[in-house]
Structure 1
């Protein structure tokens, strides 16, 4: 009888599903860690045509899509749903466990910012009301009131602003980064930013005033994802 009981326990243990893993461990060729600190981890997820990323888990995440999206999302129970999306989209995703298959004939790529300390569900904020005329063009304005900074999302963890500058266009002086000019100083040397790149800048205790100008020949398009206190 003792032998039978041990056998049954062994069979039951084998029947339990394996816990989902860190996506960067499941397939480091698909998932690359771009940046990590105590609050966030930034992942670049790139699936080749019809490639599949096995079952894995994420905490709450902010996602920026670098390419078109046509994917099959598979849940731990085996159910699935097909999802679509456009390049340049932003979405917030609550904690999840899933596998993902690229249904496209082209690569599919996302930047995913995992919020390590997002313990409670997201509470989305209402879109702010911007002033119709934020004052004379030479005066500094709050970052969220600068006309080129388009509010896209906000909750208790993050504020997301989309910034689009045509060639030669510059933002207004704002408090809070392609060529920068700080209040009372000359323009800095141009800085080249690669398409799809990820950059992290530490916050400052004291706000500073600056503006950014696109000195390139193509549209400057970024998402400014701020970590809230």
Structure 2
């Protein structure tokens, strides 16, 4: 069964660009919306709106709150999510198709976005 978010959650994820090196997804949801488990390769996330989400994977949960205009790195991971805020989520994911260097501790140790900056 596919873990591609555009397949598992087509009402929330839309492919807006793709070539042999990257795929760009647009994500939109409303308060209370949930995703089923899906995978992201190493990606860059750009938040177009403020949002609050709960991400779940492997028995772990993390709450994420990000303002609009944030750019964050997302390590390859599998998770499900839920909009736990009172605003709609709107973000862009730039998924890398080329694998990155191996990391100590293995892939998927980090749940949710990390690092980043605002414009």
Q: TM-score, normalised by structure 1?
A: 0.43
Q: 2:7 aligns with which of 22, 25, 36?
A: 25
Structure 1 runs (4+) greater than 4 angstroms displaced: none
SS in 1 for 2:36: strand
1:74 aligns with one of 48, 56, 63:
56
Which structure has the highest strand share of the two?
A: 2
User: What is the aligned partner in structure 1 of residue 94 from structure 2?
Assistant: 113
Instruction: Assess, with a 3 A threshold, how the Cα gap between structure 1 residues 54 and 72 changes in structure 2: closer, same or farther.
Output: same
Offset of 1:118 from its aligned partner?
3.0
Whose Rg is larger? 1
SS of aligned partner of 1:52? coil
Q: Does 1:64 align with 2:46?
A: yes
SS in 2 for 1:105: coil
CA contact (8 A) 2:46 2:70 kept: yes
Task: Give the structure with the higher percent helix.
Answer: 1
Per-residue CA distance 1:5-31 (angstroms, 9 max, x = gap): xxxxxxxxxxxxxx6600000011100
CA distance in 1, matches of 2:3, 2:46: 22
Across the aligned residues of Structure 1 and Structure 2, the Cα RMSD in angstroms comes to 2.0
**CA contact 1:94–1:121 (8 Å) conserved in 2:** no
Q: Which has the higher contact order (CA 8 A, sep 6+)?
A: 2
Structure 2: 5+ residue stretches without partners: 104-115
Contact 1:20 1:97 in 2 (8 A): no
Length-normalised TM-score, structure 2: 0.81
Partner of 2:80: 99
